[in-house]
Amino acid sequence: MIPVELIKKKREGEVLTPDELQKFVNGYVNGEIPDYQMAAWLMAVYFQGMSDTEMKEFTRVMIHSGTVIDLSFIPGVKVDKHSTGGVGDKVSVILAPLVAACGIPVPMISGRGLGHTGGTLDKLESIPGFRTDLDIDSYKKTIEKIGVVMIGQTKDIAPADKKMYALRDVTATVECIPLIAGSIMSKKLAEGIDALVLDVKTGSGAFMRKKSEAIELAKTLINVGESFGKRTIGFITDMNQPLGNAVGNWLEIEECIRCMKGNEIQDLMEVTYRLAGAMIYLGGKSGSIEEGESVAREAIESGAAFEKFLQLVNEQGGDVSYIENPTRYKKAEYNKEVVLGKEGFVSEIDNYGIGIAGLITGAGRRKIDDSIDYTAGIIIHKKIGDRVGKEDPIATVYANEKKNVEDAVLRITEAYRLSDDAVEPRQYIYGMADKNGYYDY
């Protein structure tokens, strides 16, 4: 293989053969192909795309760049969920124990937050002692014992994606559907699942700002999942405002605890129940998604979901006393309410700006190796459609550095638009896609 020829081939819009893809990707993983050649090839893919078959072969090569976990020794249909991420998206923290409490094994591999978006691993690690760095053996033992496990991508799972994603992040080649599909699906298909539910977010705080792009991504991910024999369902959900009220790691865990105890936050739980319904349906424990939603509601009402969460925290080394009594957790040193000083109805929130405000508080990271402040973040009090009085706080900011509080307050103030006329609340779930196509709700 001559790397430059494969770069040229892609640059000209030709299709690489399975053998060429394998040699090129594996050559990159083992260091034979340098970053600059992979970067050039990624940019060629960005402009030229991939054929359907090529994308599936690319995914296969990425999956087999590392260990493919076999969970067939565990009875039942193993189902996971993947979200394309956003601001205040804490669904996985509730969803994994909830679905496991309904008898479906949930092996979940999640990511960290970067830029304006949060990550499930950071949220879980805000629980003192919680370990997300289990090796594959402990991963298998945990799911076998309690029916759920939540870890991060290890060095053995899809290592080609790990290396390529870091390069894409700094070469402006992230926003490319075949590369995203290969990246997401290689990790999911290597973790041992039988079926997958996707939450593809759209709006100002999402990766896919336009709904049409989110639908296209969902359809592509479903096409890849199904071609590997995994039943895959996707939902297009709103990310034009934070999901729930909390943004920031421990603040979000606290919100999840409240929801799991039955004090539900409407938008967050509507999305959670729909995804849970789909997972329960794919797991064979209900005849439809709607029926699966009812099963999930019962697991919250009976306390079974919260019990399963306690079990998960305990099993992965976390201190359950903070889950049983969240007020024990240290508070951020400073807090400040955000008041707009004008009245009206919230018509728009720049959710990217809210995500950046969260990052400014210390809840996020600017660079991959930055440390984060688990106590920092934002509690949103007013969402789209809500009426705001002149003195009403729209949010409260929590941080351990005074300057960060002021900067975040400014950023949140700039993110809100008010209108004199009443505004309809936003729809939380736009539609659903499966192997037969997309259906708007």
The binding site for ligand URA (CB under 6 A) comprises 165, 174, 179-180, 183-184
Shortest distance (Å) from residue 408 CB to ligand URA: 25
Residue number with CB closer to ligand URA (174 or 339):
174
Report, in this order, helix, strand and coil percent for the chain, each rounded to 5: 45, 15, 35
d(CA 302, CA 305): 8
Give the count of beta carbons closer than 10 Å to the beta carbon of residue 137: 8
Which residue of the set 56, 187, 285, 308 is catalytic? 187
Shortest distance (Å) from residue 441 CB to ligand URA: 25
64 in catalytic set:
no
Dihedrals phi, psi of 94, to nearest 5 degrees: -85, -40
122 in catalytic set:
no
Hey, CA dihedral for 259, 262, 268, 220, is it positive or negative? positive
Residues facing residue 148 across a β-bridge: 106
Distance from the Cα of residue 167 to its chain's centroid? 20
Shortest distance (Å) from residue 218 CB to ligand URA: 13
116 in catalytic set:
no
d(CA 437, CA 371): 42
Shortest distance (Å) from residue 186 CB to ligand URA: 9
Distance from the Cα of residue 161 to its chain's centroid? 16
Which residue of the set 80, 161, 194, 267 is catalytic? 161
Residue number with CB closer to ligand URA (365 or 417):
365
Which residue of the set 10, 78, 82, 308 is catalytic? 82
Residue number with CB closer to ligand URA (62 or 305):
62
Shortest distance (Å) from residue 25 CB to ligand URA: 14
Shortest distance (Å) from residue 179 CB to ligand URA: 6
d(CA 163, CA 160): 5
Q: What are the DSSP E strand ranges found in 324-410?
A: 334-339, 344-349, 377-380, 387-388, 393-399
Residue number with CB closer to ligand URA (80 or 293):
80
CA dist 316 to 39, 92, 124, 431, Å?
37, 16, 10, 35
Nearest residue to 183 via CA among 205, 203, 153, 208:
153
Which residue of the set 92, 183, 204, 286 is catalytic? 183
Residue number with CB closer to ligand URA (79 or 179):
179
244 DSSP assignment: S
Residue nearest to ligand URA (CB): 183
Residue number with CB closer to ligand URA (200 or 305):
200
Could you list the active site residues? 82, 161, 168, 183, 187
